[in-house]
Structure 1
């Protein structure tokens, strides 16, 4: 029973790490392009500030 829980928890952790590894680094050219394609209404306040800092005011 404990082994199954540990195995499931490990699988979830590996899956989560795999998803985050695919996201471009904030401020990179790929991230700026991704944000430009994303509707600005869907941006968080942090994303908007990072976009202005890294993509507009380089």
Structure 2
């Protein structure tokens, strides 16, 4: 029973923490990425940053 409760609390914590992150491509996300060292970006983050923050198009607003 304790293992199940611990697992449930763990899942809830991860869900809660991930809900705090801004949506990829939003202005808040672009600002967050500008503040993060470019050396710490993942390949996906760099691609998304270029797509959504540098080369904005009307489709990505």
Q: TM-score range by the shorter chain?
A: over 0.9
* TM-score normalised by the chain length of structure 1: 0.94
Unaligned segments of structure 1, at least 5 residues: none
What root-mean-square deviation, in Å, do the aligned CA atoms of Structure 1 and Structure 2 show? Answer: 0.4
Deviations 1:6-56 (A, max 9, x none): 100000000000110000000000000000000101001110000000000
> What residue ranges of structure 2 are gaps of 5+ in the alignment?
57-61
Number of residue pairs matched? 56
Aligned to 1:52: 50
- Name the TM-score, length of structure 2 as normaliser: 0.89
Question: What stretches of structure 1 move > 4 A for 4+ residues in a row?
Answer: none
